[in-house]
């Protein structure tokens, strides 16, 4: 590293340290903060309250799980085929 680069780096580090000092004067560091209580009971609640995975397939759940833009794309394709039937062979070709 050249002397010029070293000087620039030193200046940058000093500016950073000064900015950090300014920020810390308004936002005090929290340091080694610890939880006020044991979090394990909350972890147990989280584990008990988690939704169980349904093993039964439901069409309504499946429909609800499809993103809205897929429906929009399907609708656009349907409208296009209705108004421009000549597109159907082109679409089938690309499928």
In the bound state with other proteins, the residue whose beta carbon lies nearer, of 33 and 86, is: 33
Counting residues that bind other proteins (by CB under 8 A) gives 28
What does 39-80 look like in DSSP terms, one character per residue?
A: SHHHHHHHHHHSPPPP-S--HHHHHHHS-HHHHHHHHHHHHH
9 binds other proteins (CB under 8 A): no
64 binds other proteins (CB under 8 A): no
The footprint of other proteins on residues 27-46 (CB under 8 A) is: 27-36, 38-40, 42-43, 46
In the bound state with other proteins, the residue whose beta carbon lies nearer, of 4 and 38, is: 38
Cα separations in angstroms, 71 against 3, 42, 43, 49, 67: 63, 39, 38, 32, 7
């Amino acid at each position: 590293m050249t002397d010029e680069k070293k000087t620039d780096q030193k200046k940058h580090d000093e500016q950073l340290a000064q900015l950090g000092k300014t920020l810390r004067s308004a936002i005090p560091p929290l340091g080694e903060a610890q939880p006020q209580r044991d979090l394990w009971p909350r972890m147990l609640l989280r584990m008990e309250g988690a939704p169980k995975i349904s093993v039964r397939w439901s069409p309504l759940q499946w429909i609800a799980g499809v993103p809205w833009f897929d429906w929009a794309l399907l609708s656009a394709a349907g409208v296009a085929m209705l108004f421009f039937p000549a597109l159907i062979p082109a679409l089938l070709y690309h499928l």
